[in-house]
Chains A and B, each alone.
Chain A
Amino acid sequence: MYNFVLQADDLDSLIQAIRAQGYEVLGPVVQDQAITYGPVACASDLPRGWTDEQDRGHYRLKRRTDGAYFGYAAGPHSWKQFLQLPTRPVWKAQRTDHGIRMTEIVDEAPAVAFLGVRSCELHAIAIQDRIFIDDHYRNDSYLNRRANILTVAVNCTAPAETCFCTSMQTGPRVTLESDLALTEVIDGQEHYFLIGSDSYRGGQILNSLPVKPATARQLQLAEAAVDRAAKEMESGSRQFDSGDLKELLYRNLDSPAWDEVAERCLSCANCTMVCPTCFCSTVEDSTDLSGETAERRERWDSCFTRDFSYISGGPVRADTRSRYRQWMTHKLASWFDQFDSSGCVGCGRCISWCPVGIDLTEQVARIRELEEPS
């Protein structure tokens, strides 16, 4: 698929070509000492020469020794925030002489290009598509936004310590469809991108770029860069066999590992907020003082809150043990029953952004360890 080469000096032509098609480009930017996702007007907005150092409960923005544009791993933001909005109004109601008038709030779905989508993130978007579009409880706000997204994937060549996509079979190589896909190569003085397209609109953009056909050596270097990323993760401490996760967790609903983690977990919900697949939301209904108008808003929710499982009389999951267990068994076990896939793509965000460094790969190992008679 990556048949062409775009010189790094010409990267801006890609951004301008996408903009010329009427898309707003969102991509990686340096903000508040992290690489987040925000508006990208030109190539110089990108985090060139920046990377991240990540570990459990730890993230630091760092300088790279080279000028790579995409030399960082998944950060605090995910594309979820642009598709399933953190909060949005759903409807307004007004009391009238004849009863109540309800007005649905249809929000705008702008044409947006996601630049720099990783393979794990394409998988995460595909998972949310299954939930919000393919399942019978369709979310029209998501559907409308999703229909207007152009994706520019970038093969991952700079995984963080916290990444484990190789364990979840979701990366680092881009295998799902995207409109355009790139691999960044730095070879001595040479700095270029292998580029290809999977769609008609991607092809149209590609046709307008100053690209040249790729040579065998360039293709080989690009492959090698992604292979190195895979090897790095496979030899890292977070590599594990995910083949039997569902059975493992279902067998261990009473593992003492849940009590141990509950001692540390703050039930703060950061892990579910940063997770690119967690899809839960709640609605909040309110009135104004007069009671003449009412409004419903939707906002992200989390199985770590008390209200999440509140039914008449009290919460089903009052303690942290049951909340953490719900989270992990949903991600790694019951998600298979519900959506035929894992709910985890191995991006490592929940590990880095957990304030107290709780690591689900360690929890899996701990459950296994406590199960085996030693």
Chain B
Amino acid sequence: MDRAKLAVWKFASCDGCQLSLLDCEDELLELADIVDIAYFKEASSREVEGPYDLSLVEGSITTAHDRDRIVEVRRQSRALITIGACATAGGVQALRNFSDVEDFAAIVYAEPQYIATLATSTPISAHVTVDFELQGCPINKHQLLEVISSFLHRRPPQVPAHSVCIECKLRGNVCVWVAHGTPCMGPITHAGCGAICPSYDRGCYGCYGPKENPNTGSLVHWWQEELGAEQATVIENLRNFNAEAPAFAHESRRLAGEAGQESGDDQK
């Protein structure tokens, strides 16, 4: 049987998730034996034409050109898996969704009239059907290998959608929220990192995005009422790499609306 053809695509992103794949080192050599890495610009200039058995997609959709390109990638791919917060939730660049992108462009670029961009940054799933979303900013390389192995061997990936708290408790950590009064996003954040931040005595800041069935409102209520978290702290935690993930965005908009900071985003 022919080796499966793997393609890795980049949209609006920092390349960190593709680097997680390059970072696999030994396993990457093994992967290169097992699959045909047909398209992976970050690693090689070699380009094999589609269709592809498996496409890994990094990055979000921020331009009209990319909006068309993702449709073509989907058409060429038997399975399409998004990797990282950008592709899955719009990434840090989705902060524009809470503001006016033209204002940003005017500050950053000397000649903003040459910048052609969409008003929003959106996840891949807003444009095409996605077979699996691997969350994380950046993704965990072991989880990436697990997802690829599961695809190759036709089995479900072992990427549980539960809270970071479970990983934290499996490690035997003392909870920084309960024992130190430190605000922690762990209870509503998707597992995958191995609870790194609480293991180093700081709160989780949600870089893996929402877990399944998150109750953001209740978490925020306790942060504010019992842990004395400032509104700005709450919004900062909800609005970073996964700002546009619905479970975080809904709550941050509600809070910001209350404070009268961000008028006019309610139509989104």
**Residues of A bordering B, CB below 8 Å:** 31-34, 36, 57-61, 76-77, 81, 86-87, 263-270, 273-274, 284-291, 299-300, 302, 304-307, 318-320, 352-353, 355-357
Contact = CB atoms under 8 A, between A and B. Distances in A.
Query: Chain B interface mostly helix, strand, loop or mixed?
Result: helix
Interface in B164-186: 165-166, 169-175, 177-180, 184, 186
5 contacts: A61-B179, A305-B161, A305-B212, A318-B213, A355-B175
B170 A31 contact: no
A306 B212 contact: yes
Nearest to A270: B165
A31 B171 CA distance: 14
B259 to A, nearest CB: 23
Given A285-B158, A320-B215, A357 B179 contact: no
Contacts of B100: none
B254 to A, nearest CB: 15
Contact of A355 (B146, B187, B214): B187
B215 A266 contact: yes
B149 A355 contact: no
B160 interface: yes
Contact of A267 (B170, B172, B213, B226): B213
Contact of A289 (B27, B169, B226): B27
Interface in B187-218: 187-188, 201, 212-215, 218
Nearest to A76: B174
Given A319-B213, A356-B222, A290 B162 contact: no
Contacts of A290: 30, 34
A340 to B, nearest CB: 28
Given A266-B214, A357-B222, 7 more contacts: A58-B226, A59-B179, A268-B186, A269-B165, A269-B169, A286-B146, A291-B153
B181 to A, nearest CB: 8
B146 A267 contact: no
Contacts of A267: 163, 213, 215
Counting chain A CB atoms within 10 Å of each CB, the highest count among B145, B165, B178 belongs to B178
B46 interface: no
Contacts of B186: 268
Contacts, number: 136
Counting chain B CB atoms within 10 Å of each CB, the highest count among A77, A267, A290, A320 belongs to A267
A175 B180 CA distance: 35
Contact of B160 (A81, A264, A307, A356): A307
Contacts of A352: 178
A32 B27 contact: no
A76 B148 CA distance: 37
B219 to A, nearest CB: 6
Contacts of B177: 57, 355
A41 B226 CA distance: 38
Nearest to A52: B179
A269 B163 contact: yes
A306 B213 CA distance: 8
B178 A300 contact: no
B96 to A, nearest CB: 30
B105 interface: no
Given A307-B160, A356-B222, A300 B165 contact: no
A324 to B, nearest CB: 11
Contacts of A76: 174-175, 178-179
B219 A274 contact: no
B51 to A, nearest CB: 22
Contacts of A265: 215, 218
B31 interface: yes
Contacts of B160: 305, 307
Nearest to A269: B166
A291 B155 CA distance: 11
Nearest to A353: B178
Contact of A288 (B149, B174, B188, B219): B149
